[in-house]
Amino acid sequence: MQPKQATLALLALSLSVAGCSGETTPPVLGLPPPQDAAAESEQSSSLAALKGLLVPKDLVVGTPTEVYTRIARGVLTCWFGASGPLKAAFIYHADAQPASKGGSSEIKILTRDSDADDPRALRAYRVLIAPSENKTRVEIENVRIPEPLAARLKQDVERWASDEAGCGEAPVTAGWAAEQRKAPETKKTKEKKAPKP
């Protein structure tokens, strides 16, 4: 309880007791002693810690477009890359709005069914990215991915959303960052002019 609230509560209690005893003069209360800088600092740090506990974990720093880019790059590189654990049985699909329309996006991991008319048969995992409270909200939903694998994917998505690179338990794969490549040689550069006789 803050000092002002404690003083008001004490005043109200003393007035009610005085009213019951028949006295009409309320007791005189002094002002609370002023707080020193250390006490104010301690109070503000405890409020900051409490605020940190109350802020939802699914809010991350960055625009929805930036967060989508980080998560999509991670999923495509680490989970659907050449030796990715989801490549054989699942399909990656994403819908993203441009930044001018808010930048909301949805990443869907769908089960692969070669016997169905549409191979993207059923939704297995979903990551929704949307603007919220001057930050970005990331919601994760697992529908059909086995739980140990889904838990690892969730940790990776949360890490990528927080702008940490890499593939989790495995080392960072080549291709995480764009590589500088030499321009392909054209036919003209391959042919060398013969010296004149």
What pLDDT is stored for residue 78 in this prediction? Answer: 94
Domains of the chain: 59-161 (3.30.310)
- The distance of Cα 34 from the centroid of its chain, to the nearest Å, equals 41
What pLDDT is stored for residue 192 in this prediction? Answer: 53
What pLDDT is stored for residue 12 in this prediction? Answer: 62
Tell me the three state secondary structure of residue 77: helix
For every one of its 197 residues, what pLDDT tens digit does the chain have, with 9 covering 90 and above? 555 555 556 656 565 555 555 555 555 555 555 656 555 556 655 555 544 444 456 688 889 999 999 999 999 999 999 889 999 889 999 999 998 998 999 999 999 877 777 766 688 999 999 998 788 999 999 998 999 899 999 999 999 999 998 887 654 444 444 443 444 454 444 455 555 65
All residues at 6 or more sequence positions from 181 whose CB lies less than 8 Å from its CB, including other chains: none
What pLDDT is stored for residue 82 in this prediction? Answer: 86
What pLDDT is stored for residue 13 in this prediction? Answer: 59
Let me know how long the chain is. 197
What pLDDT is stored for residue 167 in this prediction? Answer: 87
Q: What is the CA radius of gyration of the chain?
A: 31
What pLDDT is stored for residue 60 in this prediction? Answer: 84
Burial profile 13-46: b = 16 or more Cβ within 10 angstroms, e = fewer? eeeeeeeeeeeeeeeeeeeeeeeeeeeeeeeeee
What pLDDT is stored for residue 14 in this prediction? Answer: 60
All residues at 6 or more sequence positions from 168 whose CB lies less than 8 Å from its CB, including other chains: 78, 152, 155, 156, 159
Q: Which of 83, 75, 162 is nearest to 124 (CA)?
A: 75
What pLDDT is stored for residue 165 in this prediction? Answer: 87
What pLDDT is stored for residue 130 in this prediction? Answer: 94
CA 35/CA 174 separation, integer angstroms: 57
All residues at 6 or more sequence positions from 157 whose CB lies less than 8 Å from its CB, including other chains: 71, 74, 75, 127, 138, 140
Task: Indicate yes or no: pTM above 0.85.
Answer: no
What pLDDT is stored for residue 94 in this prediction? Answer: 94
- Residue corresponding to tokens 């409490």: 50
